[in-house]
Amino acid sequence: MLTIVVIAKECVAGRVKTRLHPPLTLEQAAEVAAASLADTLEFVSSLPADRRVIAFAGTQLPSEAHGFDVIPQVEGDLDVRLGAVFDAVEGPMILIGMDTPQLTREHLDYVLGDWSSDAATGPDAWFGPASDGGWWGLALREPTGDVLRGVPMSRDDTGALQLASLGAAGLRVGFLPEVNDVDTYQDALEVAALAPGTRFAQALSAIPVTPALTA
């Protein structure tokens, strides 16, 4: 039984993707974030899973979350919030964020396969590194927030520190493909180029940006 979790927050101006400002306004950054979240939820809806969950911070769920179970995010730093999500799920699970709208099924092939049944020799965890030094996806055969709490997040060494935590817990780790998540405007342009048919790419391309502000 596989659970796929999307961790997300309500796309309110000034609360999401603030590093896209400038060149985007905070309102435009929220629009782009909402498009990315919609892409992610529709993508997850298309995957074979026994349960789909949105770990949500906010009050107004997006319409694309129909059919998802909802886990409200707890208060605290990101490592605490992530840890609480892993504590709340039983059985094999993968958590992904709302800022990788370029994901395809191939990125998750190993997790969607039979890894969860090969307890003797297969991975206990699958780790998806991000190109900025963080991570975009984490799967655990036996979910526990203990491997996340205390790991500093949103740093260029977060991925290395998370891997060290998994290793310290004695887990065998497999690796998913490295991808670029969306933090900066340049990231957004690169991701949109990889997935031009997404809502994210369309929302980004619809926003006029002064070239000098993108330098």
pLDDT by residue (tens digit) across 146-167? 999 999 999 999 999 999 999 9
Q: pLDDT band at residue 209, thresholds of 50, 70 and 90?
A: confident
CA nearest to 200, candidates 27, 26, 31, 6: 31
**Which domains can be identified in the chain, with CATH numbers?**
3-214 (3.90.550.10)
Structure confidence by residue, pLDDT tens digits, 92-138: 999 999 999 999 999 999 999 877 566 667 899 999 999 999 999 99
Say whether pLDDT at 73 is over 80. yes
**pTM to 2 decimal places:** 0.94
Residue-level pLDDT at 215: 43
Say whether pLDDT at 1 is over 90. no
The CA–CA distances, whole Å, from 204 to 8, 24, 73, 189 equal 19, 9, 28, 8
Residue 86 in contact with residue 143, Cβ under 8 Å?
yes
Residue-level pLDDT at 210: 62
Structure confidence by residue, pLDDT tens digits, 7-54: 999 999 999 999 999 999 999 999 999 999 999 999 999 999 999 999
pLDDT > 70 fraction of the chain, expressed in percent and rounded: 95
Taking residues 171-188, what's their average pLDDT? 96
Q: Mean pLDDT in the chain?
A: 94
Residue-level pLDDT at 212: 43
Residue-level pLDDT at 116: 59
Say whether pLDDT at 191 is over 70. yes
Residue 145 in contact with residue 86, Cβ under 8 Å?
yes
Residue-level pLDDT at 121: 77
* Cβ count within 10 A of residue 165: 17
